Structure 1
Amino acid sequence: MNETDQIQTTAEAVEAAAMPHARVVHSDPNAPQSPEQKPLPAALCRKPVSQKGPAEWAYERLVLYIKNFEEQLDAEHEIAMGFTGSSTGALRIEGMGFFDPDIVTFYGSDDSGTKTQLIQHVSQLNVMLRALPKQAPEREAMRIGFKLVDELESNTET
């Protein structure tokens, strides 16, 4: 009997279907772990993926990618989002949200400090994370990813 011939209980089949699948390969064997390699935080497992709207599920995974990216930044850089396929520059990520079933929003400012917001349909989601020097060298680097994870963990209704 091989793996595909194994018999599953109904509970095992439902659990397997609800679990997200991820995979990543890095060329550098010493590369830091990425979100695909880390276990999902308990807060993201409270509600089965099958019960989440596309925007909620995209938002939660973006939170993990943002936090992971920030964990690798030095104290002189903050996270920003580059616009792929565009020359409009970058948006310094200062907030993020979703509006189910299909909208994800990013709040922040551009390179010149102008208030900026990106509203994106999940089917068009394409985010490039960038490290930009802090706008105010005298203050501590802003870490939105850690705030986003804290919010997910403290929110009992996801």
Structure 2
Amino acid sequence: MNKAIKQSFFNSNEFAALNALHNLFQHHQGLLEQVKTIPILPEMPLYSDLMTMCLVPKEVVERAINGERQYVNKPKIRSALKWYGGLVNLNPALFNFAVIVFEKCIEAKIIVDDAAWGRFAEVYNTESKSNQTHFVNGDIVCRSADVDAILNSIYVKH
């Protein structure tokens, strides 16, 4: 990918968040064990525009933010992630960054011959034709209880 495309990622809040976490995990690989990918199942009292959560303890994310040398990135990182009490959901940032990468590849006329890429392109094109956003909000809402408490309970069980 050319330098101009890579450089434009630095304007992305999602990239700032994922890059800070990447830097932390590079030096503290044991922290990766605290990241849990959990599907949102029909029997759970939760709703989201994504079918999966990627939960990590708030302390891990705070450590990544505090390790960030550029002060300007700290609010960008916070805004890209979804905070729920003692947990943070990374999945909306991951998904939205995938959309950004997809769009940059299209702009640069980079063709990827892959089935998953093709499915992503189909959905993207359908959304475009319907004037729908390609990005997710990623909020997790709960039918009748405290979202923070429910997420903590689910995280501990996994």
Superposition TM-score, scaled by structure 2 size: 0.28
Structure 1 or 2: more helix by fraction: 2
**Whose Rg is larger?**
1
Structure 1 or 2: more strand by fraction: 1
* Relative contact order, higher structure (CA 8 A, sep 6+): 2
Superposition TM-score, scaled by structure 1 size: 0.28
